[in-house]
Structure 1
Amino acid sequence: MNPLSTAALGYSLGYFSTDLVMLYAHYPDFGGAEMGLHHVAAWMSIAVSGIHEEGHLYTLALLGTECTTPFINARWMLDAVGLRSSRVYLVNGLALVADWFVIRILLFLWFFAHMYTHSDEIYLVSVPCILLLFTVPVLLFTLNLFWFFKILAGARKLLFGGRDRTLKPEELDSSIGAAFGAPRHDVSKDKDL
Structure 2
Amino acid sequence: MPTFDKLTIGISVTSFATFQFLFHFVSSWLSEQLTPGFNKLGARQKIEWNSRIVSTFHALLVGCFCLYILWYDEAVNADPIWGDPFWVKINVAITSGYLISDLLLIICYWKAIGDKYFVTHHVAALYAYYYVLGEGLLPYFGNFRLLAEFSTPFVNQRWFFETLGYPKTSAANLLNGVMMTIMFFLVRIAVIPIYYARIVFAFGTEAFHRLGLGPQCAWIISSILLDIMNLIWMQKIAKGCYKVLHLCITQTAKTQENGKLE
TM-score normalised by structure 2 residue count: 0.60
Contact 1:49-1:129 within 8 A present in 2 as well = no
Residues 109 and 187 of structure 1: CA distance in aligned 2, closer, same or farther (over 3 Å): farther
Aligned residue pairs, count:
174
Distance in structure 2 (CA, Å) of the matches to 1:104 and 1:28:
28
Deviation >6 Å, runs of 4+: 187-190
Q: Which residue of 2 aligns with 1:87?
A: 171
- 2:121 counterpart of 1:38: yes
Task: Write out aligned runs for 1:136-151 (5 A).
Answer: 136-151=222-237
Q: Which residue among 98, 102, 115 is the counterpart of 1:19?
A: 102
Q: Which residue of 2 aligns with 1:154?
A: 240
CA-to-aligned-CA distance 1:57-94 (integer Å, 9 cap, x gap): 10110122112111111111111211243211111111
Report the AA paired with residue 7 of structure 1. I
TM-score normalised by structure 1 residue count: 0.80
User: Any idea what SS the aligned residue of 2:93 has?
Assistant: helix
- Unaligned 5+ runs, structure 1: 162-166, 176-184
Identity %: 22
CA-to-aligned-CA distance 1:156-175 (integer Å, 9 cap, x gap): 221123xxxxx8xxx37x69
Q: Which residue of 2 aligns with 1:4?
A: 87
Structure with greater proportional helix content: 2
> RMSD of the alignment, in Å?
2.5
Residues 94 and 115 of structure 1: CA distance in aligned 2, closer, same or farther (over 3 Å): same
- Unaligned 5+ runs, structure 2: 1-83
User: Any idea what SS the aligned residue of 1:147 has?
Assistant: helix
User: Any idea what SS the aligned residue of 1:83 has?
Assistant: coil
Contact 1:5-1:56 within 8 A present in 2 as well = yes
Q: CA deviation at 1:149?
A: 0.7
Task: Write out aligned runs for 1:97-112 (5 A).
Answer: 97-112=181-196
Q: CA deviation at 1:95?
A: 0.7
Report the AA paired with residue 134 of structure 2. I
Q: Which residue of 1 aligns with 2:210?
A: 124
Q: CA deviation at 1:56?
A: 1.0
Residues 31 and 61 of structure 1: CA distance in aligned 2, closer, same or farther (over 3 Å): farther
Distance in structure 2 (CA, Å) of the matches to 1:18 and 1:87:
34
